[in-house]
């Protein structure tokens, strides 16, 4: 049994890590850390876990030793934990943005601050199984990408890798309210957030930098909050290289994802759910990816959808763990998702 600790276990991502790991057959959760809720029952913060755990939160200052530690802390706070864990934990899976960008200059441009701990940066492998599976098998430092970054990379990477589209791509991203976390702010007040179509990042959403990093494309990303709790969707407006045929695009996606356990190609000609949509993915680790090509104009629309808390965060992290442990990647994550919902 691999022992696991979760730092930042009281938040929404922490809750999803707990949900997935408490029933994981190869893992034992030996620490759920939260400074603000220390001493309180875990199922108080995460009522879906009633009957699934008797754990209480522990103060992070009283941290024990674990084989693997997940960091679900605020951005900028991972560094201190990574340093502190150096001696005690074999593997650290970081869900913050601290080590996502390889280029310190990009970090500075997108986060407005000198990146933390450049000495540690090179040790991190991106937590993107579809691109870094081999490296993840032995990685001791894993940096899980942002939710819309994962969607954008999985939507565009096959097109970029096969050289099918021009470099300039517009990404229009939509996301539910859980993406803003569990803190009570006016921004997330139900009466204000309900029914929103709120452009909260007209330019340069931070996940844009990750999509550019992993695809080499010249990406511009706008992000809008829409009415949903979970779920993110990206619409990537691209232009095909001259002569692009739909069959080329379909082949690129099929080739890229035929063996992926958590990427499904959804690109039907008709039907209600003919392109990826997050609502039927809630709670699952899928990233559905699809496309539509208009051959005469060369317009390509690539679409990806996922649950921002699962494939966009906790589930992706657990998939990385499964790879690291040499286990089937869907261990603990066979939930198919709901319909209708």
Choose between 255 and 294: whose C-beta lies nearer to a second copy.
294
Choose between 124 and 257: whose C-beta lies nearer to a second copy.
257
Alpha-carbon distance of 244 to 222, in angstroms, equals: 26
Q: How far is the CB of 335 from a second copy (least distance, A)?
A: 5
Q: Scanning residues 222 to 281, which ones bind a second copy (CB under 8 A)?
A: 222, 224, 226-231, 233, 235, 237, 264, 266, 271-273, 275, 277-280
Helices 129-136 and 147-161: crossing angle, nearest 10°?
90
Q: Scanning residues 43 to 82, which ones bind a second copy (CB under 8 A)?
A: 44, 46-52
Choose between 84 and 188: whose C-beta lies nearer to a second copy.
188
How many residues lie near a second copy (CB under 8 A)? 79
Contact yes or no for 67/4 (Cβ under 8 A): yes
Which long-range contacts does 100-108 make (Cβ < 8 Å, 24+ apart)? 100/126, 100/143, 100/145, 100/146, 100/149, 100/209, 100/210, 101/209, 101/210, 101/213, 102/213, 103/213, 106/209, 106/212, 106/213, 107/209
Alpha-carbon distance of 273 to 264, in angstroms, equals: 13
Alpha-carbon distance of 280 to 289, in angstroms, equals: 13
Provide the annotated active-site residues. 147
Contact yes or no for 316/329 (Cβ under 8 A): no
Alpha-carbon distance of 77 to 126, in angstroms, equals: 18
Q: Scanning residues 181 to 220, which ones bind a second copy (CB under 8 A)?
A: 182, 184-199, 202-204, 220
Choose between 36 and 90: whose C-beta lies nearer to a second copy.
36
Q: How far is the CB of 164 from a second copy (least distance, A)?
A: 16
CB under 8 A: which stretch of 75-83, 99-107, 114-122, 282-290 binds a second copy?
A: 282-290
CB under 8 A: which stretch of 16-24, 28-36, 127-135, 146-154 binds a second copy?
A: 16-24
Q: Scanning residues 81 to 140, which ones bind a second copy (CB under 8 A)?
A: none
Q: Which residues have C-beta within 8 Å of that of residue 133, sequence separation ≥ 6? A: 323
Alpha-carbon distance of 271 to 261, in angstroms, equals: 24
Q: Which residues have C-beta within 8 Å of that of residue 124, sequence separation ≥ 6? A: 94, 99, 139, 141, 142, 143
Q: How far is the CB of 287 from a second copy (least distance, A)?
A: 12
Q: Scanning residues 21 to 40, which ones bind a second copy (CB under 8 A)?
A: 22-23
Q: How far is the CB of 323 from a second copy (least distance, A)?
A: 19
Q: Scanning residues 285 to 304, which ones bind a second copy (CB under 8 A)?
A: 288, 292, 294, 297, 299, 301, 303
Helices 147-161 and 246-257: crossing angle, nearest 10°?
120
- The one-character DSSP state at 327 is S
Choose between 12 and 33: whose C-beta lies nearer to a second copy.
12
Q: How far is the CB of 331 from a second copy (least distance, A)?
A: 13
Choose between 174 and 311: whose C-beta lies nearer to a second copy.
174
Token pair, residue 91, equals 């593997």
Q: Scanning residues 301 to 330, which ones bind a second copy (CB under 8 A)?
A: 301, 303, 305
Q: How far is the CB of 68 from a second copy (least distance, A)?
A: 21
Choose between 122 and 197: whose C-beta lies nearer to a second copy.
197
Q: How far is the CB of 79 from a second copy (least distance, A)?
A: 28
Q: How many CA atoms lie within 13 A of 238 on its CB side?
A: 30
């Amino acid at each position: 049994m691999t022992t696991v600790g979760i730092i930042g276990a009281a938040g929404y991502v922490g809750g999803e890590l707990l949900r997935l790991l408490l029933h994981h057959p190869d893992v034992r959760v030996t620490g759920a850390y939260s400074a603000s809720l220390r001493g309180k029952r875990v199922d108080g913060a995460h009522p879906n876990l009633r009957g699934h755990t008797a754990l209480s939160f522990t103060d992070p200052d009283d941290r024990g030793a674990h084989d693997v530690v997940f960091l679900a802390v605020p951005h900028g706070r991972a560094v201190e934990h990574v340093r502190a864990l150096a001696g005690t934990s074999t593997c650290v899976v970081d869900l913050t943005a601290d080590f996502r960008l390889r280029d310190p200059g990009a970090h500075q441009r997108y986060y407005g601050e000198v990146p933390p701990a450049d000495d540690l940066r090179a040790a991190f492998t991106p937590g993107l199984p579809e691109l870094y599976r081999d490296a993840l098998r032995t990685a001791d430092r894993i940096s899980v990408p942002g939710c819309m970054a994962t969607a954008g990379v999985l939507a565009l990477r096959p097109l970029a890798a096969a050289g099918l589209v021009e470099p300039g791509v517009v990404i229009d991203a939509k996301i539910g309210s859980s993406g803003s976390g569990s803190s009570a702010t006016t921004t997330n007040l139900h009466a204000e957030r309900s029914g929103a179509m709120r452009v909260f990042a007209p330019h340069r959403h931070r996940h844009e930098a990750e999509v550019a990093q992993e695809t080499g494309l010249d990406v511009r990303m706008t992000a809008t909050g829409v009415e949903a709790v979970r779920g993110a969707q990206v619409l990537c407006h691209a232009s095909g290289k001259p002569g692009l045929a739909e069959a080329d695009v379909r082949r690129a996606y099929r080739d890229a994802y035929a063996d992926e356990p958590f990427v499904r190609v959804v690109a039907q000609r008709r039907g209600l759910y003919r392109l990826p949509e997050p609502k039927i993915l809630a709670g699952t680790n899928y990233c559905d990816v699809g496309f539509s090509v208009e051959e005469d104009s060369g317009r390509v629309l690539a679409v990806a959808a996922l649950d921002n808390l699962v494939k966009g965060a906790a589930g992706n992290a657990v998939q990385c763990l499964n790879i690291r442990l040499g286990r089937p990647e869907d261990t603990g994550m066979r939930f198919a998702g709901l319909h209708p919902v």
